[in-house]
Amino acid sequence: MRDSLYLSQLGSGHENIFVLAMRELSGVFLADSSLILVTVLVVLAWALLLGFPGYIWYKIFRLRHEKHRRHHPRFAPWLLGLLCASLLTAWLVPLISFQRLEIEGLIGVDFLTHSFSASGALISAQQALLLALIVFVVVFVAAQFSIRRFLYIIPILSSVIFMGIYVFYFFASSFAYYLYTGLGAFMTGSYVLSGLMFLFLLLTIVFYVSGYVFFLYEIIRD
């Protein structure tokens, strides 16, 4: 898969995150176990960020057809604590980042993986793991009370913000591609192709902008 035509154009920064972690193992049990656990938490956080919008949309769909409390987002206290702890870890130790795809002829968002030493983390893996543990305990205890519904805001808001940034990057990548391709086709006299590119450009604007605004509206309303 790494040798495919598409991935070969992406350059460096796309290695398996666990392989990167294994390369930095020092042979010290505490340091190594902390690094592995931090990596697992970061992967969990990104799985949440990528998958949670679909979960929210599913809950909105169910609430649209049946107004019932069981369709509201609900997590066990331990799971809510784990999600919040993983989000904090991913923020403190950015082993994964994403940006607009800058390669000519390709549309999309580029996800990059980093080793711990190259991630720019200002704290050690042990410190990050300790903070994650503290957050887990605090959220777990707080979730035993009525404040739990307010704690749901943390993963929901994090996922919505991520989705907004992701949509912006993807929109910017698509916008640039259709605009420059359309202008290039127009300059060479390919007016039909140019018209199609500008049509796709218009559809891109309508789809991404209105889609995300509508998604926010549905979340707020329900």
Give me the helices (H) in the chain, please.
5-8, 17-23, 29-65, 77-92, 125-142, 148-151, 153-187, 191-221
φ, ψ at 109 (rounded to 5°): -120, 135
More confident residue, 8 or 164: 164
Give the domain extent around 112. 5-221
For 74, phi then psi, to 5°, come to -140, 135
φ/ψ of residue 10, rounded to 5: -80, -20
Decide the pairing of beta strands 109-113 and 96-100.
Answer: antiparallel
Report the predicted TM-score, pTM, of the whole model to 2 decimal places: 0.83
Give yes or no for a contact between 134 and 84, defined as CB atoms under 8 angstroms apart.
no
Q: Token pair 């704290």 is at which residue?
A: 123
Total number of domains in the chain: 1
Q: Do residues 14 and 112 make contact, with C-beta atoms less than 8 angstroms apart?
A: yes
Which has more pLDDT, 135 or 69?
135
Give yes or no for residue 7 having a pLDDT over 90: no
Q: 1 falls in which pLDDT band (50, 70, 90)?
A: very low
Q: Give the pLDDT score at 215.
A: 79
pLDDT at 105 over 70: yes
Facing residues of 98 across strands?
111
Tell which wins on pLDDT, 98 or 189: 98
Asked if the model's pLDDT at residue 139 lies above 90, the reply is yes
